[in-house]
Amino acid sequence: MDVGFIGLGQMGKAIAANLVRAGHRLIVWNRSAGPAEELARLGAEAAAHPRDTARAEVLMTMLADDEAARSVLLEQGVLDGARRGLVHVNLATVSVRFAQDLARVHRERGIAYVAAPVFGRPEVAREAKLNVLVAGESSAVSRVEPLLEAFAQRIWPLGSEPERANVVKLAGNFMIASALETMGEAVALARAYGIEGARLLEILTSTLFASPVYQGYGRLIAEQRFEPAAFPVRLGLKDVRLALQAGEAAHVPMPFGSVVRDSLLEAIAAGEADLDWAAVARVALRHAGLR
Amino acid sequence: MDVGFIGLGQMGKAIAANLVRAGHRLIVWNRSAGPAEELARLGAEAAAHPRDTARAEVLMTMLADDEAARSVLLEQGVLDGARRGLVHVNLATVSVRFAQDLARVHRERGIAYVAAPVFGRPEVAREAKLNVLVAGESSAVSRVEPLLEAFAQRIWPLGSEPERANVVKLAGNFMIASALETMGEAVALARAYGIEGARLLEILTSTLFASPVYQGYGRLIAEQRFEPAAFPVRLGLKDVRLALQAGEAAHVPMPFGSVVRDSLLEAIAAGEADLDWAAVARVALRHAGLR
Amino acid sequence: MDVGFIGLGQMGKAIAANLVRAGHRLIVWNRSAGPAEELARLGAEAAAHPRDTARAEVLMTMLADDEAARSVLLEQGVLDGARRGLVHVNLATVSVRFAQDLARVHRERGIAYVAAPVFGRPEVAREAKLNVLVAGESSAVSRVEPLLEAFAQRIWPLGSEPERANVVKLAGNFMIASALETMGEAVALARAYGIEGARLLEILTSTLFASPVYQGYGRLIAEQRFEPAAFPVRLGLKDVRLALQAGEAAHVPMPFGSVVRDSLLEAIAAGEADLDWAAVARVALRHAGLR
Amino acid sequence: MDVGFIGLGQMGKAIAANLVRAGHRLIVWNRSAGPAEELARLGAEAAAHPRDTARAEVLMTMLADDEAARSVLLEQGVLDGARRGLVHVNLATVSVRFAQDLARVHRERGIAYVAAPVFGRPEVAREAKLNVLVAGESSAVSRVEPLLEAFAQRIWPLGSEPERANVVKLAGNFMIASALETMGEAVALARAYGIEGARLLEILTSTLFASPVYQGYGRLIAEQRFEPAAFPVRLGLKDVRLALQAGEAAHVPMPFGSVVRDSLLEAIAAGEADLDWAAVARVALRHAGLR
């Protein structure tokens, strides 16, 4: 299939590479040129202007946040220059409100819109084992499923309203953030009684909490290893904020969300914005006067 | 081995039965007679008085809370009548402060004290697959390990200070409680956008959160099935309170612990003290005006 | 002085009336015509278009929120048509970020910008006893002080950066919201032990907490009288959100702010968005199963 | 009247001195001898043993906490040796549960029990301007009112159940603690935007929050003056804990109480247990990376 692809950060690059490997023809664009050249070496075409990507059958975007997406898609006119019948697949974690705006904007332009945010860190994307949440008009979803299969471990359909995929993604990231805070407080309690954090987490993450999130992040916390950051504190705060905003818009209080937000803010105030967001677990230690 | 056993609730009964099955000679006592008679049918001896259990080589107790343990062990004189060289294995979740008191009381009487709280619901106890946290003087721990093996999937040694096993147990229960609150808030968010709680939890507990705690409790929450209660709200509140008290004694703030405590209190105020503590996940729904 | 005035809600109308009474020539505009006609009967001129108000020496605006202000000032071109040397006095509670944007926009157009948010309910505005927080370039502040005196009990200068007045206003509203939540929780505790809320608040607000906020709102809470709303829950939520956003932008965690936000959201979910925001004190009662 | 008095800390000494001044015959006891000697110089009699104080018509006690009261009243046998018809007036802030226990213990011994906790710092006690909360059987309350008048600005009767006076006292201290946290967060927000804490508090505590608690503590916070401590962090934590426990026993969640508890714990972990509890306002500053 002819696929336009915008946004070649760590995640986008890994996904685009898997699409090329699966035999699709990609035309790619990125704000900085380096990553597009990398993809070109794998066989993709580098677009001269982002608008060029919208002349493919399918446009995939993986942009950092609402602002970046708004700037590229709307202000730089990518959607205005779209080919008739284009399906736009948005892989990014955007706000629920922006998801709703985007759905409307696409409808007005006669472009099909599919939200397809993913769970998984960059190495999982490279291995083509992402969990893909997908929502949008069913015929559009069907058309792009072969593409999603090129990088998904599993595809989770969530119906025709695109923002639902974003809500599930935000709920999931909220749950990860809560797991980080939980481990932080539990480790602080254990440490105060002379038990190593690594020992506590070994016991709990190999039994009751034997899941990827607790084991993966538990290891980072046990080893106090927060660099390089697969997902930094500052982006973690963004996603928790988006979950809280989605909650607020629907009158859903989320007290755990607020506590985590405060811990993330405090980590940023302590100069840790660029560490992996697992570092938020250290905030509880500092509160207890430990380390 | 000759083993005294006090406290034949759901957990105690299952553990004692496994000890009998493993070939140990048990002399058992329980406040109400029924469970002792059940054990007698399996081959245990029913003690006439709790003191009689302390004439065995090892005394195991599984009593509901600090008060029950204090009453039986100290006020009814079980420890006073203990045989020389007795090892007391306390399987219950007690407060850290009471654990420290008990360690001292045992030292004064020349009785070896081993704390061995367990992770696992009654059905796990029946299958002899408990995770056993064990701490105490190493020679005493070695002597009782063959007993623990009769009902453990795995034994986790935590050194010579008994209260450390209790701290790990409380940290674990705090983590479970936090997982319940997390799922409650995430489900409320999803529901407000038209996504079924069962769907959200299916996605997350089969991927990022594929662990026994999230899957087991996730199922109860998805099905809103809170009876019969394997572990009721009122005992959940007790354990979260013990975790907070342990934190307070060591100057460890645990904001998630406080939020969960409030949700458990609110569930009790709503008449749900005897539901399974997974019911705490409904509090977040009510706050959002859902259901 | 010639004064343009936009925004004749309860607060704006009272302030504008005081300006007319003090002898100033007002040209007023409001989205709906009624309030402008009322002012015209007092001697003000009703503008045909909002732009007409910007031909005065000073433009005062009291608009509901950022969106209303953005729409009137920027999109409807009020600032574009401004007379040379105009001083714009913004009396509204806007977000810190919008305050910063506005300051920049004014600078670019050569218009002096003064932020002058006020403390006080409508009846206080009518009595010309508002506390006015004022910040902006000092020559502009000096020019408009005679106007502020027409409705102020006291004017509190806060330097040349306009957003500082907004920060103080938001900090103050956050403090009021926290006082409401505090009274709610204290009343719930008292009620659970058979002490009437009115009795508790009588004791505390006539002694330790004998201040306008505690006495005024304490009376509403004691009498459970939340209609008519001088300041509704929904606007209270807006201001608490603005305080939290201002905190977030500067990495300041505000856990009390988050708790109050959740209580306000829960009140809205319960259908109380249009009650006086003192009604938030009832949320704590409901959590305790009271009333 | 003949009055026994136990507990001559800062508060007790000031109250006892006012009773002597008002012409009552005091027999006083204190754990350390110094304060009793001071009172003796004013005309009181120093008791050889705490039991001697219970031979007066009225026994007043002002002991630091439940443990101290339990030790002196019950374990050292003061109540056992009480004269027939004794009225015991307990001026201390005790837990609601202990208040209920004490009421029962007194009933069993035929001693009248009056709870009379007070609001006011030591200097207020010296000026005989305390607010006294009083509850107990009405004839007993009537008998001791002339004594209370010797040090009260006002007496607030709360009915016949003694623990109600304790609940109001704890609710009041919870409200003070919440005011401290509120000011801390507001000052952090202001400081992050370049506004001095002293300026913010000057504006707010001379207008909306013009009350003794906000002005008195606001001054300490503005000046960062936390020594000497009229009421230290460690006792503040005790009272907030008692409020939370009273809430828990009656199923009343108090989220503000939990946040304040965490801030107090963090202050203690930072080595500030003996500073005035207004120092808790600094915790919010540290979270924001300020100072």
Q: Could you tell me what percent of chain B has a pLDDT over 70?
A: 100
pLDDT value at B84 more than 90: no
Is there a single domain that holds both residue D88 and residue D7?
A: yes
Q: Which residue of A has its CA nearest to B281?
A: A254
Is there a single domain that holds both residue D157 and residue D189?
A: no
Q: Which two tokens mark B238?
A: 């007790």
pLDDT band at C57 (very low <50, low <70, confident <90, very high): very high
Contact yes or no for B183/B217 (Cβ under 8 A) = yes
Is there a single domain that holds both residue B108 and residue B139?
A: yes
Question: What pLDDT sits at residue D291?
Answer: 78
* Domains identified in chain C, total number: 2
Question: What pLDDT sits at residue C84?
Answer: 86
When CB atoms are compared, the residue of D252, D254, D265 closest to B253 is: D265
Residue type present at position A186: A
Is there a single domain that holds both residue D8 and residue D109?
A: yes
CATH number of the structural domain spanning residue A211 = 1.10.1040.10
Beta strand D130-136 with D112-115 is antiparallel
CA distance A212 to A120: 10
Average pLDDT of span C42-63: 96
Q: Do A253 and C261 touch (CB under 8 A)?
A: yes
Is there a single domain that holds both residue B116 and residue B33?
A: yes
Contact yes or no for A179/B182 (Cβ under 8 A) = yes
Neighboring chains of B (3 or more beta-carbon pairs < 8 A): A, C, D
Question: What pLDDT sits at residue C81?
Answer: 84
Is there a single domain that holds both residue D8 and residue D35?
A: yes
Strands (E), B40-190: 45-46, 58-61, 87-90, 112-115, 118-119, 130-136, 152-157
Is there a single domain that holds both residue B120 and residue B196?
A: no
Shortest distance, CA C78 to any CA of chain D (angstroms): 29
Phi first, then psi: what are they for B63, rounded to 5°?
-105, 155
CA distance D213 to C291: 30
CA distance C141 to C134: 7
Look over chain C and give the mean of its residue pLDDT values, rounded to a whole number: 96
CA distance C42 to C105: 33
The alpha carbon of residue C187 and the mean position of all alpha carbons in its chain are separated, in whole angstroms, by 27
Residue with tokens 């006119």: A77
When CB atoms are compared, the residue of D241, D255, D268 closest to B262 is: D255
pLDDT tens-digit readout, D144-175: 999 999 999 999 999 999 999 999 999 999 99
**Which candidate in A181, A242, A262, A283 is best for mutational testing of the C interface (most C CBs within 10 A)?**
A262
Helices marked H in chain D: 10-21, 33-42, 66-69, 96-109, 122-126, 138-148, 163-192, 197-205, 212-223, 233-249, 255-269, 281-287
Say how many CB pairs under 8 Å bridge B and D.
Answer: 49
Is there a single domain that holds both residue D135 and residue D187?
A: no
**Domain span at D189:** 167-287
Q: Which two tokens mark A112?
A: 């099909």
Per-residue pLDDT of chain A (291 residues; tens, 9 = 90+): 999 999 999 999 999 999 999 999 999 999 999 999 999 999 999 999 999 999 999 999 999 899 999 999 999 989 988 988 999 999 999 999 999 999 999 999 999 999 999 999 899 999 999 999 999 999 999 999 999 999 999 999 999 999 999 999 999 999 999 999 999 999 999 999 999 999 999 999 999 999 999 999 999 999 999 999 989 999 999 999 999 999 999 999 999 999 999 999 999 999 999 999 999 999 999 999 997
CA distance C32 to C13: 13
Q: Do A266 and D287 touch (CB under 8 A)?
A: yes
DSSP classification of residue A232: B
Of B161, B180, B211, at which residue does a domain stop? Answer: B161
pLDDT tens-digit readout, B234-273: 999 999 999 999 999 999 999 999 999 999 999 999 999 9
Q: Do C164 and D209 touch (CB under 8 A)?
A: no
Q: Could you tell me what percent of chain C has a pLDDT over 70?
A: 100
Of C144, C161, C178, at which residue does a domain stop? Answer: C161
Contact list in C for residue B289 (CB cut-off 8 A) is 266, 269-271
Is there a single domain that holds both residue B157 and residue B178?
A: no
Shortest distance, CA B200 to any CA of chain C (angstroms): 22
Q: Which residue of D has its CA nearest to C246?
A: D189
What's the alpha-carbon Rg for chain A, to the nearest Å?
20
Q: Is C129 a catalytic residue?
A: no
CA distance C118 to C113: 16
Omega of the bond leading into A122 within 30 degrees of 0 (cis): no
Is the full-model pTM beyond 0.90?
A: yes
Contact list in A for residue B182 (CB cut-off 8 A) is 174-175, 178-179, 182, 256
Question: Which residues does C contribute to its contact with A (CB < 8 Å)?
Answer: 237, 241, 247-248, 251-255, 258-259, 261-263, 265-266, 268-269
Look over chain D and give the mean of its residue pLDDT values, rounded to a whole number: 96
How many Cβ atoms from other residues are within 10 Å of residue C74's Cβ? 14
pLDDT tens-digit readout, B159-217: 999 999 999 999 999 999 999 999 999 999 999 999 999 999 999 999 999 999 999 99
Contact list in C for residue D214 (CB cut-off 8 A) is 211
pLDDT tens-digit readout, A183-236: 999 999 999 999 999 999 999 999 999 999 999 999 999 999 999 998 999 999
Is there a single domain that holds both residue A176 and residue A282?
A: yes
Contact list in D for residue A255 (CB cut-off 8 A) is 255
Is there a single domain that holds both residue D19 and residue D51?
A: yes
CA distance A65 to A9: 12
Q: What is the 3-state secondary structure (H, E, C) of chain C?
A: CEEEEECCCHHHHHHHHHHHHCCCEEEEECCCHHHHHHHHHHCCEECCCHHHHHHCCEEEECCCCHHHHHHHHHHCCCCCCCCCCCEEEECCCCCHHHHHHHHHHHHHHCCEEEECCEECCHHHHHCCCEEEEEEECHHHHHHHHHHHHCCEEEEEECCCCCHHHHHHHHHHHHHHHHHHHHHHHHHHHHHHCCCCHHHHHHHHHCCCCCCHHHHHHHHHHHHCCCCCCCCEHHHHHHHHHHHHHHHHHCCCCCHHHHHHHHHHHHHHHCCCCCCEHHHHHHHHHHHCCCC
What's the alpha-carbon Rg for chain C, to the nearest Å?
20
Average pLDDT of span C145-167: 97
C152 bridge partner residues: C130
Question: What pLDDT sits at residue B54?
Answer: 94
Question: What pLDDT sits at residue C18?
Answer: 98
pLDDT band at B81 (very low <50, low <70, confident <90, very high): confident
Contact yes or no for A182/B178 (Cβ under 8 A) = yes
Average pLDDT of span C58-87: 92
- The residue count of chain B comes to 291
Q: If DSSP codes are grouped into helix, strand and coil, which group holds residue D256?
A: helix
Average pLDDT of span B270-287: 97
CA distance D30 to D124: 21
What's the alpha-carbon Rg for chain B, to the nearest Å?
20
CATH number of the structural domain spanning residue B150 = 3.40.50.720
Of B161, B180, B207, at which residue does a domain stop? Answer: B161
| Residue (of D97, D281, D277) closest to D173 by Cα position | D277
C136 bridge partner residues: C114
Residue type present at position D189: L
Please, what's the b/e burial string for A247-259 (b: 16 or more CB within 10 A of its CB; e: otherwise)? bbebbbbbbbbbb
| Residue (of C99, C107, C29) closest to C70 by Cα position | C99
Is there a single domain that holds both residue B53 and residue B129?
A: yes
Contact list in C for residue D204 (CB cut-off 8 A) is 171-172, 175
pLDDT value at D253 more than 90: yes
